[in-house]
């Protein structure tokens, strides 16, 4: 899949809206066209109509419903990515089935998603979120859809290693484009990497459980959505639940809070990294992957102050080069790596930390 070229300065974003509900199409059109930077160039009520329209209109971004007659959203997305890769924002329901389908859509190449029930409320914040996601999607670099992962690699750590988790902790933060990036990293980590891993992915409540379950099925490490009282455990990944900040005490035990969002998000990567930076002898390895905004910059700075190591994703592989750019420009990046090299970078740092601590 080729990368999406950036839009010319001052050029309006050309959007196609796909939904079987005329009401939702009307709401989407009204909200998007209220923004002077977006032009709706067509709408479709099902996947077959959408594919024909997109081929003719060649839009910069598509909003795509999941449940539609004749050809559903996932099948439409898959065909679109095979024939005419285009940035897509999914319009998702809040049911468990809707959440599972949304995670699958992100794996197939969708850039982001918006919650469908909220679209009809008319709340200004929802409209702002939709517009922001369409703007970022239109300028995003598309990543190739994920294929089935290879068999887990052989362990790279000696069985006799001192595996006290306090010797090393890995914490990963991501936003737009993150589910696919996180999956690529976690499935490439060595099966024998016996360290705790914490992942904070910007995602609303109701979707992170599906993401955790999907990641657990595909990689060598156990992945769970974090709950209060869970402890950092070697070989296990804890994923911050949507709608909550995930923090750890000095013994590595998790708690969830609904303190105000930081930088407009909850969970916030900064909050989790700040708590990990306070764990004695944590030797954290922090990774900032693709995403809009600058969440993770404050946290990366605290990780550095605590003696940790920070890896940021290279611009060339980011769907949105926002958070890694902010970390790099703040001077917190020890290493800048393309996505496919991040897992090896993590493993290398964990080995070096373990060797120093032996």
Report, as residue numbers or ranges, the catalytic residues.
Answer: 175, 202, 295
User: What values do phi and psi take at 278, rounded to 5?
Assistant: -90, -5
141 neighbors 3 (Cβ within 8 angstroms): yes
Q: Output the DSSP codes for 149-215.
A: PPPPPPP-S-TTS---GGG-EEEEEE-TTHHHHHHHHHHHS-TT--S-EEEEE---TTTHHHHHHHH
3-state secondary structure 4-51: CCCCCCCCCEEEEEECCCHHHHHHHHHHHHCCCCEEEEEEECCHHHHH
Distance spanning both ends of the chain, measured CA to CA: 44
User: Pairing relation of β-strands 254-257 and 245-248?
Assistant: antiparallel
């Amino acid at each position: 899949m080729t990368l999406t070229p950036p839009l010319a300065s001052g050029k309006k974003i050309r959007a196609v809206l796909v939904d079987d509900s005329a009401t939702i199409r009307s709401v989407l059109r009204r909200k998007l066209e209220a923004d002077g930077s977006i032009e709706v160039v067509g709408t479709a009520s099902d996947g077959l109509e959408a594919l024909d329209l997109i081929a003719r209109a060649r839009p910069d971004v598509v909003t795509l419903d999941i449940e539609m007659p004749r050809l559903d959203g996932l099948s439409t997305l898959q065909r679109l990515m095979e024939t005419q890769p285009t940035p897509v924002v999914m319009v998702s329901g809040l049911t468990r089935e809707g959440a599972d389908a949304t995670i699958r859509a992100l794996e197939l190449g969708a850039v982001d998603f918006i919650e469908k029930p909220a679209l009809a409320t008319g709340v200004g914040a929802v409209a702002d979120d939709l517009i922001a996601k369409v703007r970022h999607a239109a300028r995003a670099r598309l990543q190739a859809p994920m294929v089935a992962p290879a068999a887990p690699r052989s362990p790279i750590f000696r069985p006799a290693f001192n595996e006290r988790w306090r010797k090393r902790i890995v914490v990963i933060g991501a936003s737009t484009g993150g589910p696919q990036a996180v999956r690529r990293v976690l499935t490439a980590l060595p099966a024998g990497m016996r360290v705790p891993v914490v992942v904070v992915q910007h995602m609303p409540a109701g979707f992170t459980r599906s993401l955790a379950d999907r990641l657990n099925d595909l990689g060598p490490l156990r992945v769970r959505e974090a709950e209060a009282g869970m402890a950092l455990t070697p070989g296990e990944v804890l994923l911050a639940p949507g709608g909550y900040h995930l923090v750890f005490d000095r013994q590595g035990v998790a708690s969830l809070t609904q303190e105000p969002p930081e930088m407009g998000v909850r969970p916030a990567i900064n909050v989790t990294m700040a708590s990990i930076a306070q764990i004695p002898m944590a030797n954290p390895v922090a990774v900032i992957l693709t995403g809009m905004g600058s969440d993770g910059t404050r946290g990366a700075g605290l990780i550095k102050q605590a003696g940790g190591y920070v890896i940021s994703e290279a611009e060339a592989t980011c769907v949105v080069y926002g958070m890694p750019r902010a970390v790099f420009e703040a001077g917190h990046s020890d290493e800048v790596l393309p996505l496919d090299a991040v897992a090896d970078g993590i493993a290398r740092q964990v080995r070096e930390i373990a060797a120093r601590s032996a």
